[in-house]
Structure 1
């Protein structure tokens, strides 16, 4: 079966005349008739009611016509996607991401490259405030940050990626409270390594301690997730981190975790500047990002 045979069938239904249908397809009438007969032979059914003239489609032919329309519409969509990918094959994208969300970037890029395989991406780590500034100055095209940090006056579009959940994490050698949950008072009794105070994630943690009226025992503060991960996996200190910022090794051979009672869960999302004439690339990727959902992955 050839696609042109389906094209012949659609043309016949439209023009209701063999000669005019053949002319619209750019072939001779005998070629069109032969193509339709070949389609009938391949399917083993009669599609066209005919003598020397076109009298319409049989009931089986009407059902084949529906499939023909769907098939050619799908092919047209495929051609558009291919043309789009070819047009922007050399496209580049710059993304700013806050440190606690850095580990979701490979998942997001995998989604982007499913439609733009040759996409070139530059990813840099910034605070939420820096991401907003660099978006305004057009040094970044997309940002991943806390959505409660967006300015009230607007100017930005946003999509929620996941609600951030903080958890207590420690190696199996560190004694943690029994059960799935713990309190801020339980955590304050442990030696901790935390993110730096200028980071929004740490500010949420500090707010939890203040509201519980307890003072934590902080042994290390850093803006480097790699250092926190090393301390955690080494069994030296416990930490409070977003689920998205945990090292991969969780369980018997890695970390034990506890949910925290009364901990804020701000939304983390994808942000861009509001622009009336966004590029074709950015518009496409923004639409693709709407299918990107990691809420289940980063919830325990």
Structure 2
């Protein structure tokens, strides 16, 4: 059994297409197919459902895929460990971040690069549930997410960075009800643009309206913060967002915010897979996260 056969299998599961998987591995399609068949022969099982096309993995194939991911991740960690031992200034890490926390990433990376100057980082946006799954699969090394979404019985370590606070936010040109703190009834008729319903942050907002017996006036739903920010700044629509998801501070001069009374939000923090053979790079970065406390930056907002 060769390592390249395992990488073929991982690529095939990712692309669900023989030609694209082969291209990603830098080999011909016949070579990839032959490698998969050889792996099936060596293991004595059928791994993929095939005719002329890829139809998915068999139940046995799913188990082999899980093992293959762990094996490849372990080897990548070994290579990185060796490189890190030679040059502690560099290394590579993949981070998954939920959309409401994307603006926290520059602060996190600044601290990481202070410890590892030549650090290479890949950052992608996922839901909290996707981050948990990708950590399990060793696709990500760190996640930035709501900590109440981390399975209590799962193999994970977590560290809280800040207790999130949601606020009503609107352009200063928009007329809002009087008061520095609002309850749900106060904003029943305020036109709103909100994050998409599949996002945990939006679900918390929906829970607030539901418990108050209020039907909100929602005009726009999106999973893109940039669009949501642009609509707010036009001055005709407001939103309820985590403080960490507000526009960059240069754009906040044009905004007014109001606290939402009784809004309970979960902690936001970093998560990693708990494993005995963690790399020196990940250990160093995890140590950096333990010294971070971002409550003063992202955990509260002054109503204005």
Q: TM-score, normalised by structure 1?
A: 0.70
Post-superposition offset of 1:85: 8.3
Aligned pair in 2 of structure 1 residues 102, 237: CA closer, same or farther (>3 Å)? same
Task: Give ranges in structure 1 of 5+ residues lacking alignment.
Answer: 1-82
| SS at structure 2 position matched to 1:214 | coil
Q: Per-residue displacement from partner, 1:201-229 (whole Å, max 9, x unpaired)?
A: 00000000011100000000000000000
Q: Which moved more, 1:251-260 or 1:99-108?
A: 251-260
Task: Give ranges in structure 2 of 5+ residues lacking alignment.
Answer: 1-82
Pick the structure with greater CA Rg.
1
Equivalent in the alignment of 2:161: 161
Equivalent in the alignment of 1:88: 88
Post-superposition offset of 1:178: 2.4
Q: Per-residue displacement from partner, 1:44-66 (whole Å, max 9, x unpaired)?
A: xxxxxxxxxxxxxxxxxxxxxxx
Q: Which moved more, 1:85-94 or 1:238-247?
A: 85-94
Query: What is the alpha-carbon distance in structure 2 between the residues aligned to residue 154 and residue 295 of structure 1?
Result: 26
Query: What is the alpha-carbon distance in structure 2 between the residues aligned to residue 87 and residue 221 of structure 1?
Result: 46
Query: What is the alpha-carbon distance in structure 2 between the residues aligned to residue 262 and residue 284 of structure 1?
Result: 38
Q: Per-residue displacement from partner, 1:96-134 (whole Å, max 9, x unpaired)?
A: 000000001000000000010000000000000000010
Aligned pair in 2 of structure 1 residues 85, 101: CA closer, same or farther (>3 Å)? farther
Equivalent in the alignment of 1:268: 268
Whether 1:184 and 2:184 are equivalent positions in the alignment is: yes
Aligned pair in 2 of structure 1 residues 253, 112: CA closer, same or farther (>3 Å)? closer
Aligned pair in 2 of structure 1 residues 194, 259: CA closer, same or farther (>3 Å)? same
Post-superposition offset of 1:84: 6.8
Aligned pair in 2 of structure 1 residues 261, 251: CA closer, same or farther (>3 Å)? farther
Query: What is the alpha-carbon distance in structure 2 between the residues aligned to residue 286 and residue 221 of structure 1?
Result: 35
Query: What is the alpha-carbon distance in structure 2 between the residues aligned to residue 257 and residue 196 of structure 1?
Result: 21
Post-superposition offset of 1:281: 0.1
Equivalent in the alignment of 1:97: 97
| SS at structure 2 position matched to 1:148 | helix
Equivalent in the alignment of 1:123: 123
Aligned length: 218
| SS at structure 2 position matched to 1:140 | coil
Pairwise CA RMSD of aligned residues?
Answer: 1.7
Query: What is the alpha-carbon distance in structure 1 between the residues aligned to residue 138 and residue 248 of structure 2?
Result: 34
